Chains A and B, each alone.
Chain A
Amino acid sequence: MRVIGSVLRRLLHTVVTLFLVLTGMWCLFRLVPGDPLVIFLGQGELGPVELARLRADWGLDQPLLTQYASYLKNFATGNLGTSFVFRQPVSEILVTPLLNTLLLMTPALVLSIGLGVMLGSHLGWRRGRAFERWGNALVLIPRTLPLFWLGIIVLVVFAYGLEWFPIGGMRTPAFIPETWWQRLPGFDIAHHLVLPVAVAVLHLVSDPLLIMRTSMIEVINEDYVTFAHARGLSDATVRRIARRNALMPVVTYSAVMVGFAFGGQVLLEVVFAWPGVGRLMVDSVIQRDYPVAQAAFFLMASVIILLNLLVDFAYLALDPRVKLD
């Protein structure tokens, strides 16, 4: 009973947070100096008369409160507005780039979190040994190198140099498969995925890895681990127990990491010409395409918030000592 109460309270909390993010973002974009329609003025083809008409069409001449109210109403019914730049519904514009980003980031995140947890637990277990010291240093290198530089170097070596992989893009236009493996379904896209995913993993693996390592180090000093050793359990078994307990901070962090990964990989998308949502976000801000920018940012924020919620619930399963309050 108490559990259901906490769950409901947590859900309410999430809804309120989402609402505040939506409002905050809407306000921020309205506070920005300059008038979005001025971009069209700048292109020279709209005079003041046509501009006034556009402004009326898009409801930008209404009082702010009215605009806000209609925005909320539309949002609730799934109408995310119409893009100023594309003049098409925002929801249609977001779909394909979002799917493209998902295609890129899902394997990247799965691999980085998976590898991060595995390697992190090994590093934490072997604290103090040479393996751990070298491991720490090596892992930090790709993390601290600028992502676009890393991407370009990888391209230089593997795409221009060795010509093992394409130089970018998501697929080869007018692709004609020649060998048997090229004829396998999805080969072209998979071929294009390898390098950007590899660079993303190199860059993203260090965070879960180091968190896991730290967490592991704390856990192995706990009493129950000493006790497990004392009971005569094998090294591998004790490590498995420790790992499960050390997993919590990584799970929490993963929620945030996944959210940011969706919007934040612009550099990757530019270097590899990947048509994803990160590029769309940046372009929409530059072009003052408010509806698209708002929707994309809100998407990113809500992914983080919702994943956080899921993580909170996951805690209930992972650690019985945790209460939701």
Chain B
Amino acid sequence: MSSTHAIASLAAAALLTLAVPAHGQGQGERTPGGPVGPINMLMPDWPEMMEMARLLKPNWEKLGVTVNVQHAQLNSMVAQTTGEHRAPHISITGWGGGPDRIDPDFFLSEFFHSKRSVKGGQNYGQYVNPEYDKLVDAQRGEMDDAKRHQLVKQAQQMLVRDRPGLVLYYIDYLTPYRTDRIDGASSVMGNGTSLSYIPWTYYDGKVKKGRPIVKTLTQYDITTLNPFATGEVTNAALLRWSYAPLVMRDKNMALIPWAAESWKVVDPKTVEVTIRPSMKFSDGQPVTAADLKFTLDFINQWKFPSYARYTDNIAQADQVNDRTVRIQLKQPYAPFVANILGSAFIAPKHVWEGVMTKNAGLKSPAEWPNAEPVGYGPYALSEWKKGEYIKFTANKQWYRAPGFDEVYWLIVPSVDSQLGMLESGNADLMAWNLTPSQMQRLKASKDISAPPAPSHAPREARFNITLPPFDDVNVRRAFSMTVDRKQLVNTLLDGAATPGNDAYISPKLDWSDTSIKVPEFDLEGARKMLQAAGYTWDASGKLRYPAK
């Protein structure tokens, strides 16, 4: 009896959590004069998205179509859209903005280049345009900054012309911290005050009172201490506190030398990097160019999936002297400094070269637990109690030594508990983006502040342009014109967001083409556009395809 009970509960649990209704089947055909079929829209099950659906649906339905809204767990949705490329008519996603996405290449290429319209790529809308591909490939290889800016502007204009997706808005990060404890907090684009990606609060901040031991709250634990193993953004970002990247973004998003002392673009395919002098690993060994060369060769040798996209382009890494490495690229790659040097770190050769021989049964060094990480950056990862906390100890030998002594990342899955802990002073920062109601609640505490910082990653609505009616650019544009972005920003986020202009580059970045304006809500204009394209409405107001 009890075993049947167990199996039954397992079955229920498994099927309930993992069943995802099939989309992309029977989604309507383009029959001349026929009704424009129901539009299926998929979004993650976040409260913000639930509300957003209630604002988007009625406006779009004014065009004479029915919109079906489907919410799914984020992992399931990603598996379906990105993993299996079975996206429905419209997929709405909120993207995270890691530092490697500040360079325009990520959104322009990853979302819309035809090469990424394969399973695993983010071009699940299937936008395939050879003209666009050429443009984006050109900007990626253009090492002259001014010329590259031009090409990026042209790419944005092409996207707006073809409208494969809509950018609804860019959220503001509202990440709270205790002002009575932390001095010198920096709220930085794509990071706010307390996240781990561009963590200037942790690197430059000081403690006002009490012990210089800072506690930050987070919902999710990391999964590995091995810097080669993970591609997951937060895990990688935290490991970079110890395995410091060569280049970093400062508080104004400018690229600054970090583990590198300087770099030189010798020619479009050659970059020389000189690392900082007197850096030491936590086991006392000096950090040298041999370690950097070893790391780049190691990644190339093992083809770690997490780094493949970047190091695929590295042909060769040669040690020039004890602090300099010369890197040869296969092709010119404009985001090289930002993305490759911005994520490349230096692994201790004396530790990693023996990993495979000393540990039987490993298929790859990425499987080694690396339980005692040997790093060199501003913080050492000194303790990881799984599910409880991650402890970082400041490395006072770092050239820009942190003002804190220790930082604890406390893993608290319940956001309500986190809010309570922050309010009662049991924690100093919360690595969480506050919802408007949570922001209201914290406003009542005079010692808690959440200075906003813009995100460079959009909330977007992507069309599957293989599915009618979205194979017609006029319909896509009409849908863009029936989104009231200002209403979304004010209703969903109390104004803590910037409306998007459908060009997929945040207006706060200097790559943005500021001549592209945010579309105004214009129902009449949308209907006129559809009419001009041959669409009609029947007696009951339903939209019909052109009679062709």
- Contact for A50 among B15, B122, B303, CB less than 8 A: B303
Shortest Cβ distance from A324 into chain B, in angstroms?
Answer: 16
**Distance (Å) between the CB of A97 and the closest chain B CB?**
6
Closest chain B residue to A160 by CB distance? B420
- From residue 108 to 137 of chain B, which have CB atoms closer than 8 A to chain A? 110, 118-122
Tell whether, in the assembled complex, residue B306 and residue A45 are in contact, meaning their CB atoms are under 8 Å apart: yes
Q: Is the C-beta of B421 less than 8 angstroms from some C-beta in chain A?
A: yes
A300/B6 in contact, CB under 8 A: yes
User: In the complex, which of the residues A34, A96, A168, A276 contacts B421, with contact meaning CB atoms closer than 8 Å?
Assistant: A168
The chain B residue sitting closest to A97, CB to CB, is B387
One of A48, A152, A170 near B120 (C-beta < 8 A): A48
Complex CA–CA separation, A285 to B118 (angstroms): 26
Instruction: Give the residues in chain B near A140, CB-CB below 8 Å.
Output: none
B14 adjacent to A44 (CB under 8 Å): no
| Residue among A21, A159, A270 making CB contact with B414, cutoff 8 Å | A270
- Pick the contact of B412: A20, A87, A168 (CB < 8 A): A168
Interface size on B, residues (CB 8 A): 68
Please give the distance in Å from B22's CB to the nearest CB on chain A: 8
Q: Is A230 in the interface zone, CB < 8 Å from B?
A: no
- Bound together, the chains give a CA A87 to CA B229 distance in angstroms of 8
B413, A279: Cβ atoms under 8 Å?
yes
Are B2 and A305 touching (Cβ within 8 A)?
A: yes
Q: Does A107 lie at the interface of the complex (its beta carbon under 8 Å from any beta carbon of B)? A: no
Within 8 A of B (CB), among A44-63: 44-48, 50-51, 54, 57
A273 touches B412 (CB 8 A): yes
A249 contacts partner chain B, Cβ-Cβ < 8 Å: no
CB distance from B31 to the nearest CB of A (A): 31
> Contact at B18–A32, with CB atoms within 8 Å?
yes
Contact of A160 with B424 in the complex, beta carbons under 8 Å = yes
Query: Which of B323-331, B363-371, B440-448, B461-469 is found at the contact surface with chain A?
Result: B363-371
Of the candidates B2, B303, B388, which one forms a contact with A308 in the assembled complex, judged by CB atoms under 8 Å apart?
A: B2
Contact A44 B82 (CB under 8 A): yes
A93 to B387, CA, bound (A): 11
Q: Of the listed stretches B73-81, B430-438, B532-540, name the one at the interface; the rest are far from the partner chain.
A: B73-81
> CA of A50 to CA of B367 in the docked complex: distance in angstroms?
15
Measured CA separation A38–B15 after assembly (Å) = 17
A17 interface residue, CB < 8 Å from B?
Answer: yes
Indicate if the CB atoms of A167 and B426 lie closer than 8 Å: yes
Contacts of A280 in B (CB 8 A): 387
Query: Counting CB contacts under 8 A, is B408 at the interface?
Result: yes
Query: Is residue A169 contacting chain B, with contact meaning CB distance below 8 A?
Result: yes
C-alpha gap A167/B414 in the complex (Å): 11
User: A242-272: which have CB < 8 Å to B?
Assistant: 255-256, 259, 269-272
Q: What per-residue 1/0 map shows which CB atoms of B387-423 lie under 8 Å from chain A? A: 1110100000000000000101011111011001101
- For the complex, what is the distance from the CA of A274 to the CA of B357, rounded to whole Å? 38
0/1 string, A17-31, CB within 8 A of B gives 1: 100110011001100
Q: Given A42-B79, A275-B387, are A51 and B421 also a contact pair (CB < 8 Å)?
A: no
Any chain A CB within 8 A of the CB of B17? yes
A174: interface (CB < 8 Å): yes
**A34-45 interface bits toward B, Cβ cutoff 8 Å, 1 = contact, 0 = none:** 110011111111
Q: Which residue of A lies closest to B426 (CB)?
A: A167
Q: Say how far A69's CB is from chain B's closest CB, in angstroms.
A: 20
Which single member of B6, B14, B426 contacts A32 (CB below 8 Å)? B14
Among A152-190, those with CB < 8 Å from B are 152, 155, 159-160, 163, 166-171, 173-174
Known: A33-B20, A39-B75, A87-B367. A20 touches B305 (CB 8 A): no
Q: Is A86 in the interface zone, CB < 8 Å from B? A: yes
Is the CB–CB distance between B75 and A288 below 8 Å? Answer: yes
A29-B14, A43-B231 given as contacts; is B408 within 8 A of A173 (CB)? Answer: yes
B266 at interface by CB-CB < 8 Å:
no
| Interface flag for A66 (CB, 8 Å) | no
Residues of B within 8 A of A297 (CB): 6, 10
The answer to whether the Cβ of B55 comes within 8 Å of any Cβ in the partner chain is no
Residues of chain A within 8 A (CB-CB) of B223 are: 85-87
Cβ-closest chain A residue relative to B6: A301
B15 partner, pick from A32, A39, A163, A273, beta carbons under 8 A = A32
B303 contacts across to A, CB distance below 8 A: 50
Q: Most B CB atoms within 10 A — which of A42, A93, A269, A304?
A: A42
Q: For residue B306, which residue of chain A has the nearest CB?
A: A45
B315 CB-CB contact with A under 8 Å: no
Q: Which residue, of A167, A170, A174, A269, has the highest number of chain B Cβ atoms within 10 A?
A: A167
Contact of A41 among B120, B213, B417 (CB under 8 A): B120
A14 and B73 CA atoms in complex are apart in Å by 37
Contacts of A54 in B (CB 8 A): 305
Q: Tell me the minimal C-beta distance from A131 to chain B in angstroms.
A: 34
Nearest B residue to A280 via CB reads B387
- Chain B residues near A87 (CB, 8 Å)? 223-224, 226, 229, 366-367
Q: Are A21 and B410 in contact (CB under 8 A)?
A: no
Report the minimal beta-carbon distance from A260 to chain B, rounded to whole angstroms: 9
> Is there a chain B Cβ closer than 8 Å to A6's Cβ?
no
Q: Is the CB of B413 within 8 A of A45?
A: no
Known: A50-B303, A168-B412, A301-B6. A285 touches B18 (CB 8 A): yes
Q: A45-B231, A88-B369, A166-B426 are in contact. Are A174 and B213 (CB under 8 A)?
A: yes
Contact with A along B3-31 (1 / 0, CB 8 A): 10111001101110111100000000000
* Beta-carbon nearest neighbor of B409 in chain A: A173
Contact B3 A21 (CB under 8 A): yes
Closest to B213 in A: A174
Once the chains bind, are A24 and B7 in contact (CB under 8 Å)? yes
In this assembly, does A100 line the interface, its C-beta being within 8 Å of a C-beta of chain B? yes
Contact for B3 among A20, A29, A163, CB less than 8 A: A20
Q: Which residues of A contact B15 (CB under 8 A)?
A: 32
Q: Does A287 contact B (CB under 8 A)?
A: yes
Cα–Cα distance between A52 and B308 once the two chains are bound (Å)? 14
B78 lies within 8 A of A169 (CB): no
Contact indicator per residue, chain B 80-110, by CB within 8 Å of chain A (1) or not (0): 1111100000000000000000000000001
Q: Does B54 contact A (CB under 8 A)?
A: no
Q: Report whether A301 and B3 are in contact in the complex, using a CB–CB cutoff of 8 Å.
A: yes
Asked if A168 contacts B414 (CB within 8 A), the reply is: yes
Q: Which of A35, A43, A54 has the most CB of B within 10 A?
A: A43
B264 at the A/B interface (Cβ < 8 Å)? no
Question: Is A317 part of the contact surface with B, judged by Cβ < 8 Å?
Answer: no
- Determine whether the beta carbon of A39 is less than 8 Å from that of B388: no
**A150 CB to nearest chain B CB (Å):** 14
Binding site for A on B (CB under 8 A): 2-3, 5-7, 10-11, 13-15, 17-20, 73, 75-76, 78-84, 110, 118-122, 211, 213, 215, 223-224, 226, 229, 231-232, 303, 305-306, 308-309, 363, 366-367, 369, 385-389, 391, 406, 408, 410-414, 416-417, 420-421, 423-424, 426
User: Could you give 13 example pairs across A and B, Cβ below 8 Å?
Assistant: A32-B18, A42-B79, A42-B120, A44-B121, A48-B120, A87-B223, A87-B229, A173-B408, A174-B211, A273-B414, A285-B13, A301-B7, A308-B2
Beyond known contacts A32-B18, A173-B389, A285-B13: 15 more, CB 8 A cutoff? A32-B15, A38-B84, A39-B75, A41-B120, A44-B122, A45-B306, A46-B305, A47-B120, A47-B308, A87-B224, A160-B420, A173-B410, A174-B213, A287-B75, A297-B10
